Structures are given as structure tokens and as C-alpha cells.
């Protein structure tokens, strides 16, 4: 039976839940009205389209991509964006996240963050929530973008694939990306939330046995 050694977490929608209205207010303050309205109209679609076309985040490429869509977002705007979200974006967090990460650390598990955004932003957000020290490795979007094999390879490194699990809320990038790479996957949603995952971890600790993670690539229904 396989024992899970490495837990790979997504950030947004899994660990942190941002108030994106604060981000919108930030852009309203730095962009002219026409540019702001164009930016807000397809904000998430533009981001997802970029991630589908490129293998990593790059400030210049991202600026050029926005300009190709008729949105005049220059490199200074993007640098300010990275800085603002790191320092000021308000994040909600479930208190159980701390308990889950603490349990994993007590059991000497390796904890990895695999996130599709700039590392500087995500590190600062983790610091503000006193979460950074839980993570052994951070793989961010300016290194490689999920669901590419490169992104999962950077997270897994030399750990056997069957001993790794990806935990995230995005079906395509976290869940299918992990399964396609050959590691276990837990899709975070209303039915299978972090609380349920924590109960699985607790049951494993109480039973002092190797849990069935390795028998199912998809452990969401475990």
C-alpha cells in the first residue's frame, strides 16, 4: 500500500479566498476609465486565455498580451498589480487550514504550493496569513503554469509520483492536470472540502496504517 509523502496545494480557492473587489478598486485608481472598463469586462477570461497560450507568466509578455486585446496595460501597471496584491489584497482563510497544515508537518509530510500567479505576490500573501513557513517548496506561475507537465514536475521533483497528491479547486488545472501527470488528486468543492480532507488525514493518524490514497488516483470520493 502506498503512503502519501508529498501534499501539493493550490492557493486561490483552495487555501486563500480573496476579495477580488479590492483588486478591482486598485485598477480603477490607476487606469483611465476606458482602459479600466475594458480590463474589468473580461478580466478573468483574459488571464485564463494567457495561461492557455503561454508556459509561464512574464511581465512583458503579459503586458503585450493585454495590448493585443486592446487593453493598454503596461509593465508598470503589472508590477504595481503584483505588489498591491501581495501587500494589500484581503484574503479569507478557513481556520481549519492551519490545523491541517500543522498535522501534516507533525507527520513529517512535505508540503508544496503550486500556484498560477507571480511568486512575489503569493509569498507576501502567505506571509500575511502566517502560512509561509508551512511550505517546503513554492512553484509559481512565473516558473511554470498548470496544467503543464513542467509545473507538476517542479512540484514533485524526485518524490515517487504515487506518493504525491495535488489538492486544488480547478478541475482542469489542478485535478486533471495532476491525474494526467500521474499523481493522485483531490478536487476541492462543496462536497469534498478541506474539512473532509482533514478528516481523512486524522483517520489515517488514528488508525496508524497506510491510507488507501495510492489505490485511487482520484481520492475525492474516498
Express each pLDDT in 81-98 by its tens digit.
999 999 999 999 987 999
- Contact 5/163 with Cβ under 8 angstroms? yes
Residue, of 201 and 151, whose pLDDT is higher: 151
- Contact 114/166 with Cβ under 8 angstroms? yes
Question: Residues 182-194: pLDDT tens digits?
Answer: 999 999 998 888 9
CA distances 84 to 61, 78, 124, Å, are: 20, 10, 10
Residue 218: pLDDT above 70? no
| % residues pLDDT > 70 (the chain) | 91
Question: Does residue 96 share a domain with residue 76?
Answer: no
Average pLDDT of every residue of the chain: 92
Closest CA to 94 of 188, 21, 6: 188
Q: How many domains does the chain have?
A: 2
Phi-psi region of 59 (alpha: psi -120 to 50; beta: other; left: phi over 0): alpha
Mean pLDDT in residue range 9-22? 97
Cell 490607476 -> residue: 30
Question: Does residue 164 share a domain with residue 67?
Answer: no
Question: Does residue 199 share a domain with residue 114?
Answer: yes
Mean pLDDT in residue range 51-80? 98
Domain membership flag for residue 222? no
Residue 216: pLDDT above 70? no
Range(s) of the domain holding residue 33: 20-88
Question: Does residue 111 share a domain with residue 11?
Answer: yes
Question: Does residue 197 share a domain with residue 129?
Answer: yes
Question: Does residue 76 share a domain with residue 13?
Answer: no
| C-alpha grid cell, residue 43 | 478580466
Residue where one domain finishes, among candidates 36, 60, 88: 88
Please tell me the distance from the alpha carbon of residue 30 to that of residue 45, in angstroms, as a whole number: 21
Residue, of 123 and 212, whose pLDDT is higher: 123
Greatest Cα-to-Cα distance within the chain, rounded to the nearest angstrom: 60
Tell me the three state secondary structure of residue 42. Answer: coil
Question: Does residue 114 share a domain with residue 13?
Answer: yes
Q: Is the peptide bond before 158 cis (omega within 30 degrees of 0)?
A: no
Which residues have a Cβ under 8 Å from the Cβ of 28 and sit 6 or more positions away?
36
Domain membership flag for residue 220? no
pLDDT of residue 200: 84
Question: Does residue 174 share a domain with residue 75?
Answer: no
Amino acid at each position: 500500500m502506498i503512503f502519501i509523502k508529498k501534499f501539493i496545494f493550490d492557493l486561490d480557492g483552495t487555501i486563500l479566498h480573496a476579495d477580488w473587489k479590492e483588486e478591482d478598486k486598485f485598477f480603477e485608481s490607476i487606469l483611465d476609465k476606458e482602459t479600466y472598463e475594458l480590463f474589468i469586462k473580461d478580466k478573468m477570461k483574459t488571464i485564463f486565455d494567457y495561461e492557455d497560450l503561454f508556459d509561464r507568466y512574464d511581465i512583458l509578455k503579459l503586458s503585450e498580451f493585454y495590448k493585443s486585446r486592446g487593453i493598454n496595460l503596461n509593465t508598470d501597471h503589472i508590477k504595481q498589480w503584483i505588489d498591491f496584491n501581495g501587500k494589500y489584497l484581503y484574503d479569507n482563510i478557513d481556520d481549519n487550514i492551519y490545523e491541517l497544515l500543522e498535522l501534516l508537518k507533525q507527520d513529517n509530510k512535505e508540503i508544496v504550493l503550486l500556484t498560477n500567479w507571480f511568486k512575489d505576490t503569493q509569498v507576501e500573501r502567505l506571509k500575511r496569513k502566517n502560512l509561509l513557513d508551512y511550505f517546503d517548496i513554492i512553484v509559481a506561475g512565473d516558473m511554470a503554469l498548470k496544467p503543464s507537465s513542467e509545473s507538476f514536475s517542479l512540484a514533485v521533483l524526485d518524490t515517487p509520483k504515487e506518493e504525491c497528491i495535488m489538492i486544488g479547486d480547478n478541475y482542469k488545472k489542478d485535478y486533471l492536470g495532476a491525474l494526467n501527470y500521474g499523481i493522485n488528486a483531490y478536487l476541492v468543492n462543496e462536497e469534498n472540502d478541506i474539512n473532509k480532507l482533514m478528516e481523512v488525514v486524522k483517520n489515517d493518524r488514528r488508525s496508524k496504517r497506510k491510507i488507501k490514497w495510492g489505490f485511487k488516483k482520484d481520492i475525492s470520493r474516498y
